[in-house]
Structure 1
């Protein structure tokens, strides 16, 4: 679980950050030339991987695939070369760091008690772990892009920026709102709600103090970013405008 948290929350963002700090400033012409290719890959990540996530029976795999879909939003926002899209991509990177870390930690909490990641091995967890269930619901809804959580802000800004460039790209990107809600609610319904699934779930104890503190800190971060993202976007304005001004001019010598 610890490795998954580090990979999804931190390492997964290194490539996207590399686009901003190295690829685009150093090779702006190549970035523009390959923008269509990158946008295509981003939309494939959003749509196709969203469908792949729908058929997963392992919670960890489902969350991992949803992470790929969310990172597709990041690269889409970057390569439309629009201020709203780029800021949305940056916010999505930060937000996804909190949400994916929280989701993997929640799976780890359950795995410590039941030693299974299979969705079919759970059911009725809310009856035995009500505090944990509340945290899990919050993070799951943030993962699906519920307004008021950090998961909504980045996706909304990217879609707004993409609409200005191409309506159909934005339409395809917006399908993540449907797929995200579908695979997230499918998992939540079978894991958290319903009758108690088996004897292992019957014996589950609610989260301890250490687990509560970690999940509470992540919950505060997710809600703070979702309810008041202005401080983050204000910090980004100057850097994003500077980068877009830099990449708008060809560096090729005639």
Structure 2
């Protein structure tokens, strides 16, 4: 979370694809898990005292991550900064201290793991063909690799929060919880979601649409579409994104009572 995020973009750029997937899918969630499982139950008074600060930092992270992502020239760095923005939604939801916000934060952690892992896998698949991630060199990728472009578009729309895909439910619940806690915070965070659509769709337009760029044209036969093995690697993530997008209650019902207990214990201790 902001301002302790500065290591993340460089870590993603230097890491191999598998490292980025583990970092996005598992390690980034440890902070949110630590808040819910340890920090807030152990120190509820302090958590409530610093909740306004944490909410402010969360909103800054959401805005900052989106703004910085817009100007990135490296695909991995762009997705890394989008993760900063998405993790801002997680901490925002946790520190609303209501059922909707915390449910949304947990959903956001799980769904971000699925979606961003898929995006990093797709960037890695592209890098295997091009050995480059500079957005300016790309263009017209869909001409040669339509299936790759379609898969990238699917995960990108899930990251934007398209209704029917899993990214929508978590962000919606976080914003609902934020509205209950502070309508102004919810309003600011909602506007930033437009920025998320801008930087992701703008990136997709530059990389995949239009005529084939000279750089990609020069790759010749090396620029192949996704293989069956790569499709099988992405298929479980895509399937879960659709299932949890259509039926998010499959997840929320499994932890709803735990969230209720968490909130009751935190609120009751503070109320004493």
TM-score, normalised by the number of residues in structure 1: 0.96
Question: Take 1:245 and 1:64, find their aligned partners in 2: how far apart are those partners?
Answer: 35
- 2:22 corresponds to 1:6: yes
Q: Following TM superposition, by how much is the alpha carbon of 1:114 offset from its aligned partner in structure 2, in angstroms?
A: 0.4
Select which of 168, 184, 187 maps to 2:203: 187
For the 8 Å contact 1:125–1:201, the answer to whether it is kept is no
What is the alpha-carbon distance in structure 2 between the residues aligned to residue 51 and residue 74 of structure 1? 18
**How far is 1:32 from its partner?**
0.6
Q: What is the Cα deviation at residue 49 of structure 1?
A: 1.6
| Residues in 1 aligned to 2:180 and 2:51: alpha-carbon distance in whole angstroms | 16
What whole-Å deviation, never above 9, does each CA across 1:56-75 have from its counterpart, x for those lacking one? 11110000000010000000
How far residue 251 of structure 1 moved from its aligned partner, in angstroms, is 6.4
Question: Displacement of 1:225 after TM fit?
Answer: 0.9
Q: Deviations over 1:156-202 (max 9, x none)?
A: 01101111111110011112321110000011001111111122455
Indicate yes or no: 2:258 matched with 1:242. Answer: no
Q: Which residue of 2 aligns with 1:86?
A: 102
What do you get for the CA RMSD once the two structures are aligned? 1.3
Instruction: List per-residue Cα deviations over 1:19-38 (Å, max 9, x = no partner).
Output: 01100111111111111111
- For residues 1-254 of structure 1, the aligned pairs below 5 Å read 1-198=17-214, 199-200=217-218, 202-203=220-221, 204-250=223-269
Separation in 2, partners of 1:216, 1:82: 34
TM-score normalised by the chain length of structure 2: 0.90
Distance 1:231 1:202, change over 3 A: same
- Give structure 2 stretches of 5+ with no counterpart: 1-16
* Count of matched residue pairs: 253
